[in-house]
């Protein structure tokens, strides 16, 4: 019965609270160079200063494996989520030593463990380059030519900036291509592991509790960035305030939300509902089944698959939530009303030049419909195989290198080179038996999704049964060997054509048609960008700065308050207590994923059970925000974001704070666990919380 009323409430959220068109400060993922100053002042009586903004910006860290974090000491100490760190922990583990299972603590700097291929970025500056981009892309170009021109000018800007400043330079496309901002980042690639709890504590409650609340997770991990083999000296880092927060407090979040679909058109939303989300869900669920079954065959198989399985389970909850929302007529009505408002204004103001834009997007989506699954399965998803991915990167490298920088595929541009090589030559372990089942699965999935007569499927299968072909590819390739990868990376395009490795041969056989498909997708995206840029003008004319751009994994500022939630007729308090973890574990008889690790069981009597542990806020967040610091008015660290509740899954399409909440670890819970459970006195001394 509990479940029922939760769903009813979820459905009703959309009906009652999605109607607003003018955003409050809470309803936004704000650019650091365009904060919601007026709304903040109006609602909270708070005005961010330039110093305050700069301090937050430069204390924030982007994890290029897909998350957020922040500096918390002058010696390069960084905090993020355990689940952001988990793929790093997985790569550092082996059959004999499982860092996910066991956790890790370095009690001296010598003991800190170098990560294999982790890059952290800190945003140093933002520059609006919209005019330069638009000037380079002639209005009379067809989409393919416009796309090439745009790619060329973006590469030129990035390369110029890199040469000038030495900083990683990425141009962000904002408002679906209506604005272009140049982001310059300081890169850190010598990153070392300092502390991680056991996954039984960091991911306590596992899949069933994921996107739930109340929660009891110590979802934190500490790293340290090094420069010249010394801890990096960091000017901007966050002070910890051990007083934490109280219910009702204004809080901020700086982080890197990955992707939202707030500003998409109806045609794009229909496409998500009928094409992309269903296809991605099938792919995710099929992989979840595969990984689950493989995990059950042995403890070592479970260890190999654990991180990827957690990732699939998380993705499945996200997309299941999305399809629920996309099928909700209330959401559709809200979206429709918003689109009608824009179209009416556009019709009344032909001088804005947006007429026809919606129809162009609709036509582009229709073209993408036939292409989508094939593009994903052949080009984008890399056969779900690390070996395939590396083979493709190696095969394409000499061809791309030979092109002018601006004509290369994005991964091969000079501005991406450092990260590209870091990843290509990573010593991360690759497990042949695990690759084998994944490649076999991909071959079968492709054949089922595209039909066994699809030309790419015929090439992929190579006239063999899937199991036999997977064995030939995985056991036959040498690209698992870093030395061999370095050897191939030195070849020119002509030499690459003669390499006899079976995985390279597969990539080669697919390459022409796969590239052609990518170009077709790029042209469609270009058409959409241009149309969106015209729609954006209508929106500005109507709403001005009151709407933030969709998330793009660039730094954003979120705003909200600590607030409980009325759910199923009961009030859920905003804070959980650390002692509640033991109670929940006992309720589930300490059985996975509710079994606590030894360290916690031993410390049971020492832990101050009443310490606030996790809490919720109304801050707008989404995947990629994981690990974002939660800050008080003074810009002090009072927690770390790690999840949203189940109601937050509609946030991809619309903001509401009736039931949706972000979920965070409280600063007080972290300090108490470090002290009473892990006895991490060195870490506590370094953090030096006030």
What residue ranges bind its own copies (CB under 8 A)? Answer: 1, 3-4, 7-8, 10-11, 14, 206-208, 273-274, 277-278, 281-282, 285-286, 288-289, 292-293, 296-297, 313, 316, 320, 323-325, 327-330, 432-433, 436-437, 440, 443-444, 447-449, 451-453, 461, 463-468, 470-471, 475, 593
Nearer to its own copies, 296 or 403 (CB): 296
Closest CA to 200 of 614, 576, 600: 600
CB of 655 to its own copies, least distance (A): 18
Least distance (Å) between residue 134 CB and its own copies? 37
Count helices and strands (H / E) in the chain.
26, 21
Between CA 263 and CA 199 the distance in angstroms is 37
Measured distance CA(618)–CA(11) in Å, rounded: 19
Q: How far is the CB of 83 from its own copies (least distance, A)?
A: 17
The CA distance from 168 to 666, in Å, is 33
Judged by beta carbon, residue 293 or residue 359, the one nearer its own copies is: 293
Q: How far is the CB of 360 from its own copies (least distance, A)?
A: 22
First CA to last CA across the chain, in angstroms?
45
> Residue with structure tokens 């308050």?
561
Comparison of 198 and 444: residue with beta carbon closer to its own copies: 444
Q: Kindly state the smallest distance separating residue 18's Cβ from its own copies, in Å.
A: 12
Q: Which H, E and C letters describe 82-120, residue by residue?
A: HHHHHHHHHHCCECCECHHHHCEECCCHHHCEECCCCCE
| Beta carbon nearer to its own copies, 293 or 583 | 293
* Distance in Å, CB of 646 to its own copies, minimum: 11
Q: How far apart are CA 254 and CA 124, in angstroms?
A: 14
User: How does DSSP assign 163-180, residue by residue?
Assistant: HHH-SEEEEEEEGGGTEE
Rounded least distance, CB 594 to its own copies, Å = 9
Rounded to whole angstroms, how far apart are CA atoms 431 and 314?
A: 23
Listed residue (391, 426, 428, 397) closest to 411, CA to CA: 397
Query: Do 203 and 598 meet the contact criterion of CB atoms below 8 Å apart?
Result: no
Tell me whether residue 56 or residue 284 sits nearer to its own copies (CB atom): 284
How far apart are the C-alpha atoms of 444 and 457, rounded to whole Å?
9
* Choice between 105 and 377, CB closer to its own copies: 377
**What minimum distance in Å lies between the beta carbon of 398 and its own copies?**
31
- Of 164 and 468, nearer to its own copies (C-beta) is 468
**Smallest gap from residue 335 Cβ to its own copies (A):** 14
And the tokens for 398?
């000499």
3-state SS string for 300-348: HHHHHHHHHHHHHHHHHHHHHHHHHHHCCHHHHHHHHHHHHHHHHHHHH
Which lies closer to its own copies via its Cβ, residue 255 or residue 325? 325
Q: Which one, 204 or 240, has the nearer CB to its own copies?
A: 204
Residue 107 CB contacts under 8 Å (≥ 6 apart), including other chains: 682
The nearest distance, CB 628 to its own copies, in angstroms, is 27
DSSP 232: P
- Least Å distance, CB 428 to its own copies, is 21
Taking the least distance from each CB to its own copies, the nearer of 40 and 334 is: 334
Residues in the chain: 690
Phi, psi of 665 (to 5 degrees): -90, 135
Between 433 and 686, CB nearer to its own copies: 433
Which residues does residue 70 pair with via DSSP β-bridges, in sequence order? 60, 79
């Amino acid at each position: 019965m509990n479940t029922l009323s939760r769903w009813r409430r979820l459905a009703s959220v959309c009906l009652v609270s999605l109607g607003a068109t003018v955003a409050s400060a809470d309803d936004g993922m704000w650019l650091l160079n365009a904060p919601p100053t007026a709304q903040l002042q109006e609602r909270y009586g708070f005005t961010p200063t330039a110093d305050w903004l700069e301090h937050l910006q430069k204390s924030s860290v982007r994890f290029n494996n897909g998350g957020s974090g922040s500096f918390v000491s002058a010696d390069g100490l960084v905090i993020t989520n355990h689940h952001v760190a988990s793929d790093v922990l997985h790569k550092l583990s082996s059959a004999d030593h499982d860092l996910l299972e066991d956790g890790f603590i370095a009690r001296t700097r010598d003991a800190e463990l170098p990560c294999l291929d982790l890059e952290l970025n800190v945003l140093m500056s933002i520059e609006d380059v919209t005019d330069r981009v638009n000037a380079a892309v002639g209005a009379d170009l067809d989409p393919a030519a416009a796309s090439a021109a745009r790619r060329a000018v973006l590469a030129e800007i990035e390369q110029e900036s890199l040469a000038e400043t030495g900083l990683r330079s990425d141009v962000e496309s904002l408002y679906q291509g209506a604005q272009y901002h140049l982001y310059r980042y300081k890169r850190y690639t010598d990153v070392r592991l300092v502390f991680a709890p056991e996954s039984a504590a960091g991911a306590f409650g596992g899949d069933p509790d994921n996107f739930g609340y109340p929660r009891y997770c110590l979802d934190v991990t500490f790293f340290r960035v090094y420069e010249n083999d010394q801890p990096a000296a960091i000017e901007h880092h966050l002070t910890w305030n051990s007083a934490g927060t109280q219910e009702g407090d204004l809080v901020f979040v700086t982080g890197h939300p990955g992707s939202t679909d707030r500003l998409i058109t109806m045609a794009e939303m229909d496409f998500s509902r009928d094409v992309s989300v269903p296809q991605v869900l099938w792919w995710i669920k099929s992989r979840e089944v595969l990984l689950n079954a493989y995990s059950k065959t042995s403890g070592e198989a479970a260890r190999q698959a654990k991180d990827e399985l957690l990732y699939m389970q998380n993705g499945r909850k996200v997309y299941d939530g999305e399809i629920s929302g996309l099928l909700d007529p209330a959401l559709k009505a809200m979206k429709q009303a918003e689109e009608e408002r824009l179209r009416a204004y556009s019709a009344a103001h032909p001088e804005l030049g947006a007429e026809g834009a919606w129809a162009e997007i609709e036509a582009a989506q229709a073209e993408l419909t036939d292409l989508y699954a094939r593009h994903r399965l052949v080009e984008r998803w890399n056969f779900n195989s690390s070996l395939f991915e590396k083979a493709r990167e190696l095969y394409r490298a000499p061809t791309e290198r030979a092109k002018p920088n601006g004509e290369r595929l994005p991964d091969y541009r000079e501005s991406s080179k450092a990260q590209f090589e870091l990843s290509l030559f990573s010593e991360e372990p690759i497990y042949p038996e695990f690759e084998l089942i994944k490649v076999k699965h991909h071959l079968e999935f492709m054949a089922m999704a595209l039909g066994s007569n699809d030309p790419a499927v015929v090439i992929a299968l190579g006239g063999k049964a899937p199991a036999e072909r997977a064995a030939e590819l995985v056991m036959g390739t040498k690209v698992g060997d870093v030395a061999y990868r370095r050897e191939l990376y030195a070849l020119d395009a002509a030499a690459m054509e003669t390499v006899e490795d079976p995985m390279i041969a597969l990539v080669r056989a697919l390459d022409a048609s796969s590239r052609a498909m990518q170009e077709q997708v790029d042209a469609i995206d270009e058409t959409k960008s241009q149309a969106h840029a015209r729609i954006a003008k209508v929106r500005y004319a109507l709403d001005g700065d009151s709407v933030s751009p969709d998330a793009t994994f660039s730094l954003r500022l979120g705003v909200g308050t600590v607030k409980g939630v009325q759910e199923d007729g009961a009030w859920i308090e905003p804070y959980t207590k650390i002692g509640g973890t033991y109670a929940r574990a006992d309720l589930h008889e300490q059985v996975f994923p509710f079994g606590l690790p030894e360290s916690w069981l031993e410390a049971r009597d020492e832990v101050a059970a009443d310490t606030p542990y996790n809490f919720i806020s109304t801050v707008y967040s989404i995947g990629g925000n994981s690990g974002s610091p939660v800050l008080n008015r003074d810009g002090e660290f009072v927690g770390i974001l790690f999840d949203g509740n189940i109601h937050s899954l509609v946030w991809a399409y619309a903001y509401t704070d009736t039931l949706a909440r972000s979920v965070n670890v409280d600063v007080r819970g972290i300090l108490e666990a470090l002290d009473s459970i892990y006895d991490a006195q060195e870490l506590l001394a370094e953090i030096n919380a006030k």
